[in-house]
Chains A and B, each alone.
Chain A
Amino acid sequence: MNRYFWILGAFAGLVALLAVGLNLNPQDVPSPLVGKPAPAFSLNVLATPEKTLGPKDMQGKVWLLNVWASWCVSCRAEHPVLVKFSKDNQVPVIGLSYKEVRGDGEFDMSKLNAEQERKLAFQRASQWLAQHGNPYTDTLMDLDGRVGIDYGVYGVPETYVIDKAGIIRMKQTGPIDPDVLSKKILPLLAELNK
């Protein structure tokens, strides 16, 4: 009797362990950047290419940094949520257009020079936003993905919540759905904006 109890107990433990393991999302790697200052950068603004913008300009505000690209399928799923969010809230959402041209895979980058890539990226990003709605206070152009690397971006879309002091408070890997928005992001924003 005692022995069966042990075997059954061990089996139940194993099942519990596997159940937890199977329900974890392996893509959801905890970011070491949470709790750290948002890496500095300065990138050209989509609407006003002669201007640049970076985290320094956002000091004193709680804001979202949303990494996206027109070739990113999940971004399309996420987009309506962001558009609605930007209408309902006063929180600035900065878009980071991540490797708009070279990330697509449709272009032979050896045939495009830097200027052509730049032009194409601006054109494609503007067109996409005109078509699907623009939730962004500003969109910044990360053509080669270097800023993305500094932020540890490995799958678009990704979203960062950054506080008034410029500290990253949360990272969402993958699309924001209404559930994540209402349960995690909105309460956090309310707390940070207190």
Chain B
Amino acid sequence: MIARALLFALVLLCVPFAHAGEAAPLADDPVAEKRLQALSTELRCLVCQNQTIADSNAELAQDLRREIRGMIQAGQSDQQIIDFMVTRYGDFVLYRPPVKGITLLLWGGPLALLFLGIFALARYLRQRSKRIAGEQPLSAEETQRAETLLKEIEQK
């Protein structure tokens, strides 16, 4: 009998905890809600890949928002939450992937292209000015010939 009563008490005790496991909406906690917003705009939804977890209505995005809520409630830092996502989905989940070996081309590519463009432009301009400088003005004989030709055209 006592055991049963104890068990009953235990079950009663567990109810609030069981409930806490489910992510309750954080609307009553604006700071946490703001953190959720900020975090989920940094994370890519892998189902519809050009949307953030904040924008996407895909099931997975909803699940991940629920997961982030739970982690915020559990007092985890933003970095811990980001790490949680990266260990599961890889750097691809980040809208701003970290600079490292494999992402070097991604970050450095545009810069490299810019430098390549500047280099090509500078080279072209240098060659062009050399070409212009290299052009000899007409000699006296050539000037005369050109003038007679022009006159011929006028007379016609």
Residues of A within 8 A of B (CB): 26-27, 29-33, 99, 103, 105, 145, 149-152, 154-155
Contact with A along B46-79 (1 / 0, CB 8 A): 1101000000000110011001000000000000
Contact B92 A151 (CB under 8 A): no
Residues of B near A99 (CB, < 8 A) are: 59
Among A26, A32, A103, A145, contact of B89 (Cβ-Cβ < 8 Å): A32
Q: CA–CA, A66 to B91, complex, Å?
A: 24
B86 at interface by CB-CB < 8 Å: yes
Min CB gap A49→B, angstroms: 19
Q: Is the CB of B90 within 8 A of A30?
A: yes
Inter-chain contacts of B90 with A (CB < 8 A): 29-32, 152
CA distance A99 to B60 in the complex (A): 11
How far, in whole Å, are A103 and B62 apart by their CA atoms in the complex? 11
Tell me the bound Cα distance from A150 to B89 in angstroms: 9
Q: How far is the CB of A68 from chain B (nearest CB, A)?
A: 15
| Interface residue count on the B side (C-beta < 8 Å) | 15
The residues of A that contact B60 with a CB separation of less than 8 Å are: 154
Q: Is the interface of B mostly helix, strand, loop or mixed?
A: helix
Structural contact, B47 and A152, CB atoms closer than 8 A: no
Supposing A29-B46, A155-B47 touch, asked if A103 and B88 sit within 8 A by C-beta, the answer is no
Residues B67 and A149 in contact, CB atoms below 8 Å apart? yes
The answer to whether B88 and A32 touch across the interface, beta carbons within 8 angstroms, is: yes
A33 touching B88 in the complex, CB below 8 Å, given contacts A149-B63, A149-B67 = yes
Q: Return the contact of B47 from the options A33, A149, A154 (Cβ within 8 A).
A: A154
**What chain B residues lie within 8 Å of A31 (beta carbons)?**
89-90
- Complex interface bits, B77-97 against A, C-beta within 8 A gives 1, otherwise 0: 000000000111111100000
Q: Is the CB of A152 within 8 A of B59?
A: no
Alpha-carbon distance between A103 and B58 when the two chains are bound, in angstroms:
10
- B44 closest partner in A (C-beta): A29
* A185-B88 Cα distance, complex, nearest whole Å: 22
Beta-carbon nearest neighbor of B58 in chain A: A154
A31 to B93, CA, bound (A): 11
The residue in A99, A154, A155 that gathers the most chain B C-beta atoms within 10 A of its C-beta is A154
For the complex, give the distance between the alpha carbons of A47 and B89 in Å: 31
- Residues on B with C-beta less than 8 A from A26 are 49
The interface centre, meaning the residue of B63, B67, B90 with most chain A CB atoms within 10 A of its CB, is B63
Closest 7 pairs (CB-CB, A-B)? A154-B46, A152-B88, A32-B90, A29-B92, A152-B89, A154-B60, A145-B63
Residue of B nearest to A36 (CB): B87
Chain A hits for B87, CB < 8 A: 32-33
Inter-chain CA distance A103–B91, complex, in Å, is 26
17 A/B residue pairs, CB under 8 Å, sorted by A? A26-B49, A29-B89, A29-B92, A30-B92, A31-B89, A32-B87, A32-B89, A33-B87, A99-B59, A103-B59, A105-B59, A149-B67, A152-B89, A152-B90, A154-B47, A154-B60, A154-B89
The reply to whether A32 and B49 form a contact with Cβ atoms under 8 Å apart is: no
Complex alpha-carbon distance, A155 and B59, angstroms: 10
Distance of A33 Cα from B86 Cα, bound (Å): 10
Inter-chain contacts of B88 with A (CB < 8 A): 32-33, 149-152
CB neighbours (8 Å) of A103 from chain B are 59
